[in-house]
Amino acid sequence: MAYTLYDQNGLEITHHDLQDKTKWCKDGEKVEQSFVRIHGEALGILINPEKENNAYAPDLLHVMDNIRGDLKTQNTPFFQAQRLFGIDPTFVVVFNLKDRTRYQNLYPDIDIYYWVDWIAVKFMMGGREIVAQPLYGVWKTSFKELDNYLETCPLHEYQQRRYDNKGNAKSSFVLDIRNPCFNRLI
């Protein structure tokens, strides 16, 4: 069933195809650069120099302690989170199962940064309206802390990706950004 998203001014928002991984990865590089330009100095981070030779390297590097980080940018709340998991969508972020496995194997000491900026705040589908409050901020957690938290989090299976062969994540953990494992930086 189709749905419609709106910003806080009541204007309709349209997204590019959410299953087009290639496009979202290309956009992700620009988002990483924007994040570092906006918040890098205050947070003491820069784009990880390894990314010059390896597009799959972690996104960020914390200058003072030389710890790598990955950026998770979230602009649309998981509006169904209240109905499905009992969590206010205003505070829900997601973490892909495939990323968990990757970090466990390759980067167990990585930090995870969440850059949340709810552009969409209203969801309409079949006469039902779900509203999230505007939220902006940057949160950080170590993967070790996050991995422990994931043990208690529900896993959401993406119905539209059940037969995906483009490399998209097929499931994500549903997280509450208010959990103590997250440290709000901004």
Q: What DSSP assignment string belongs to 17-62?
A: -TT-HHHHHHHHHHHHHHHHHHHHHHHTEEE-GGGGT-TTS-SEEE
Residues 11-17 have a mean pLDDT of: 73
The shares of helix, strand and coil residues in the chain, as percent rounded to the nearest 5, are 30, 30, 40
Q: pLDDT digits over 65-100, tens only?
A: 999 999 999 999 999 999 999 999 999 999 999 999
Longest CA pairwise span in the chain (Å):
51
164 vs 44 pLDDT, higher one: 44
User: Does position 26 have pLDDT exceeding 90, yes or no?
Assistant: no
User: Does position 34 have pLDDT exceeding 90, yes or no?
Assistant: yes
Q: For position 157, what pLDDT does the model report?
A: 84
Residue given tokens 């902006």 in the structure block: 136
Residues 55-63 have a mean pLDDT of: 94
**What is the per-residue burial (b if ≥16 Cβ within 10 Å, else e) of 56-92?**
ebbbbbbeeeeebbbbbbbebbbbbbbeebebebbbb
58 vs 164 pLDDT, higher one: 58
Number of domains in the chain: 1
Q: Name the nearest CA neighbour of 68 among 101, 104, 40, 110.
A: 110
User: Does position 16 have pLDDT exceeding 60, yes or no?
Assistant: no
Q: pLDDT digits over 37-46, tens only?
A: 999 999 999 9
Reported confidence tier of residue 1, pLDDT bands at 50, 70, 90: low
Q: For position 168, what pLDDT does the model report?
A: 53
User: Does position 52 have pLDDT exceeding 70, yes or no?
Assistant: yes
Domain hosting residue 60, numbered range: 4-184
